[in-house]
Amino acid sequence: DAGVIQSPRHEVTEMGQEVTLRCKPISGHDYLFWYRQTMMRGLELLIYFNNNVPIDDSGMPEDRFSAKMPNASFSTLKIQPSEPRDSAVYFCASSLDHQGGEAFFGQGTRLTVV
């Protein structure tokens, strides 16, 4: 397996534009996590899915953020409209369904909103 694949790796967009980040988890993994990493706030859990169902989105900062997982092999995180304070590295991670299952991370998407 190629691991967790995120796209794009880098995204620069203007304030107010819609941004869509994409993630392909490892095949067979039941959990998918979206994290945001900033210097100020560290690694924040935004939302996670189990078997394509959103379980906890309490970490999503605002209604401008939404995430979907239409099937087991694809998830999106959308920001609409984007703001400069959304600039961060966004990570997607997937894992098996047990407490000892480590999360495998994608390479991250570095988002810059100007």
Partner 1 sequence: AQKITQTQPGMFVQEKEAVTLDCTYDTSDQSYGLFWYKQPSSGEMIFLIYQGSYDEQNATEGRYSLNFQKARKSANLVISASQLGDSAMYFCAMREGHGGYNKLIFGAGTRLAVHP
Give me the residues that bind partner 1 (CB under 8 A), please. Answer: 31, 33, 35, 42-43, 45, 48, 50, 55-56, 89, 91, 93, 95, 97-105, 107-108
CB 8, min distance to partner 1, A? 14
Q: Count CB-CB contacts under 10 A for residue 12.
A: 12
Q: In the bound complex, what is the minimum distance in angstroms from residue 81's beta carbon to partner 1?
A: 26
Write down the least CB distance from residue 49 to partner 1, Å.
10
Q: Which residues does residue 30 pair with via DSSP β-bridges, in sequence order?
A: none
> Toward partner 1, which CB reaches closer, 5 or 81?
5
Reduce the secondary structure of 4-30 to three states and give it as a string. CEEECCEEEECCCCCEEEEEECCCCCC
- Please state the closest distance from residue 6 (CB atom) to partner 1, in A: 11
Cis peptide before 70 (omega within 30 of 0): no
Q: Which is nearer to partner 1, 45 or 72 (CB)?
A: 45
Nearer to partner 1, 17 or 50 (CB): 50
Q: Which residues pair with 91 in a beta bridge?
A: 35
